[in-house]
Amino acid sequence: MRVFVINQNQEPLNTCHPAKARKLLSSGRAAVWKRYPFTIIMRREVKKPIVKEHRLKIDPGSKVTGLAILEGLRVVFGAELTHRGFAIKASIEDRRAIRRSRRHRHTRYRKPRFNRQRAAGWLAPSLQHRVDTTLTWVNRLRKLAPISSISMELVRFDTQRLNNPEITGIEYQQGELFGYEVREYLLNKWKRKCAYCGASGVPLQIEHIYPKSKGGSNQISNLCLACESCNRKKGTQLLEQFLKKKPEILQQILAQAKSPLKDATAVNSTRWALYHQLTATGLPVKAGTGGTTKFNRTRLGLPKTHWLDAACVGQSTPENLITGNINPLVIKATGHGNRQMAQIDKFGFPRRKKDGSYRVRTRTKEFHGFKTGDIVRAIVPTGKNKGTHIGRVTVRAGRVFDLTTVKGKLQSINWKYFYPLWKADGYTYVYKVQKCSLM
């Protein structure tokens, strides 16, 4: 992994080898500027530095976006940015359910708002988050490396062809249910039998193969027919759990069911918004297809990972790509918390203490110089948590905090044992130990 270098004026220079960075730090010629990604700043002026051109390559995804920076034939940085779009969608749905429940209770009347108009190009918050986080990291990396151009994968998924590879012509306009009602279509598809027990001649109910309570969709590919007894037995269980003793029926149902298209739809909805945002940075942006990315990755004999897919995006991929000794930085968006003061139960009512008062969060977010999300080093001298640990801290109003590490969660550690490493910025960071062959 190469190290980012900036000069005294915080202008990006060429990346350097970790051994050279250690020499600069030990001699006092440089200091640590950032830990994630690791960056050093020169203490003295660098005379007439020769800055090479760097290209930032992006492989947008619904859940994970791959990032890679190329300096000529060499990949100098790789990262995988994990979005929280589906978590945002779930939070909005919970908030909507709570607000709807208010309409059925005797509470004060809330007049409808007049300014509920969506601007042109509006995206849902869960989709806009994917664009914003990607653009945030593009701007961050531009401050650390002399990036002169951008390449991104501008792919469009044909969702109808993903469902039906043989679709052609007018069938695109007719769709899968042309001339059918949903129930009639399912009766013909499942031959008027229960998908789980094969019973016929009994009342059949429309059933979600992947439970709706666990994120299942209402797509026709996620629906089947089941008798009342099977529907009740399955409940909210996953299909694999419900049919673990009937592997043949499980394979038969999975063969007819089709995978959900949430990820493909999210990429389709955000691809042009991200492209226009990148173009607005003033850097030249080149778009590549998904087929080109796969061709380059196969030609170079690289494994399929998000950051290597990003390195292979577009026609700018060199014939010989050097990807050796790169440990990609795994970046996970966690958000900055929420502003909800009252703690509520699953029905939307405020929780109460034993004395009858409401449970209300404190407005103070920082205690003893720490706040939730900070990355710290804990040196615990005694007790069951004895040792040195690095992780994400969860603060409380008292003297003890919790620490979440890669090995698990440690509870009730005195704040005096914590040493700050990184202030919370809405992300968590982990370097993935992964070695690629030198091409």
Question: What residue spans define the domains of the chain?
Answer: 1-49, 52-102+124-157+261-335, 174-256, 366-424
At 152 the pLDDT is 93
Q: What sign does the CA torsion over 145, 11, 15, 63 have?
A: negative
pLDDT digits (tens, 9 = 90+) for 36-63: 999 999 998 888 788 899 999 999 988 9
pLDDT band at 240 (very low <50, low <70, confident <90, very high): confident
CATH number belonging to domain 174-256: 1.10.30
Cα 226 to chain centroid, rounded: 35
pLDDT band at 98 (very low <50, low <70, confident <90, very high): confident
What are the φ/ψ torsions at residue 272 (nearest 5 degrees)?
-75, -35
Any idea which fold 366-424 has? SH3 type barrels. (2.30.30)
Beta strands across the sheet bearing 387-394: 408-414, 400-405, 387-394, 375-380, 418-422
CATH architecture of the domain covering 52-102+124-157+261-335: 2-Layer Sandwich (3.30)
Beta carbons within 8 Å of 368's beta carbon, 6+ residues apart? 395, 399, 415
Q: What is the mean pLDDT of residues 139-152?
A: 95
pLDDT at residue 267 is higher than 50 = yes
Alpha carbon distance 78, 195 (integer Å) = 46
